């Protein structure tokens, strides 16, 4: 059942956030969007997501720092966090893994339909 699964998208790009949210809603997920890193951290507490889709290049609090802060909370050690960004170097990718990313996905090569599949399989 995906109906009750909550997905938080932390993404500052309105086009991408809208497209991902629409696709995930179409697939039956309950979706919330935060447009900067601080709002994302606030939403983690309020919305209690089952999974987070996290951009890296974010205003206010950088995505990598968001990831580290979420993982510093023991209660969210196992929360699936899919890092979804175009700003990749091998060092940057390794930093994401070190900080506790569940999956690291290159946005440009991942259409919304594939993101829905990734989210679905991560939550199944």
Partner 1 sequence: MTDNHGAEGLRIVDVARLHTLGEETGLGIRGVAALFLEQMEDQLADLRSAIHERAVLTLAQSAHRCAGSSVLAGMERLSRLLRELEHAPAEGLSDAEGCLASVEREFAAVTSELSALLAATPGEGPVAA
Give contact residues for partner 1 (rule: CB under 8 A). 12-16, 18-19, 22-23, 25-26, 57, 59, 86-87, 107-108, 111-113
Nearer to partner 1, 46 or 113 (CB): 113
Q: Which is nearer to partner 1, 13 or 103 (CB)?
A: 13
Nearest to partner 1 of 62, 95 (CB atom): 62
Q: Rounded to the nearest whole angstrom, what is the least distance from the CB of residue 111 to partner 1 in the complex?
A: 7
Output the smallest distance, CB 38 to partner 1, in A: 16
CA 49 to chain centre: 10
State residue 85 phi and psi, 5-degree precision.
-155, 165
Query: Minimum Å distance from CB 112 to partner 1?
Result: 5
Task: Give Cα 51 distance to the centre of its chain.
Answer: 7
Closest separation between CB of residue 14 and partner 1, Å?
Answer: 5
Nearer to partner 1, 17 or 99 (CB): 17
User: Which contacts of 66-74 are long-range, i.e. CB under 8 A and separated by 24 or more positions?
Assistant: 66/10, 66/37, 66/40, 66/41, 67/96, 67/99, 67/100, 67/101, 68/99, 68/100, 69/41, 70/41, 70/44, 70/100, 71/99, 71/100
């Amino acid at each position: 059942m995906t109906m009750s699964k909550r997905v938080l998208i932390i993404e500052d790009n309105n086009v991408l956030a809208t497209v991902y949210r629409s696709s995930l809603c179409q697939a039956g997920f309950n979706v919330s969007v935060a447009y900067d890193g601080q709002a994302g951290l606030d939403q983690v507490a309020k919305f209690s997501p089952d999974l987070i889709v996290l951009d890296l290049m974010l205003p206010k609090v950088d995505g990598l720092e968001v990831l580290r802060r979420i993982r510093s909370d023991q209660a969210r050690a196992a929360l699936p966090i899919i890092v979804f960004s175009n700003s990749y170097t091998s060092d940057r990718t390794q930093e994401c893994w070190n900080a506790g990313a569940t999956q690291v996905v290159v946005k440009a090569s991942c259409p919304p339909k594939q993101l829905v599949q990734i989210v679905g399989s991560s939550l199944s």
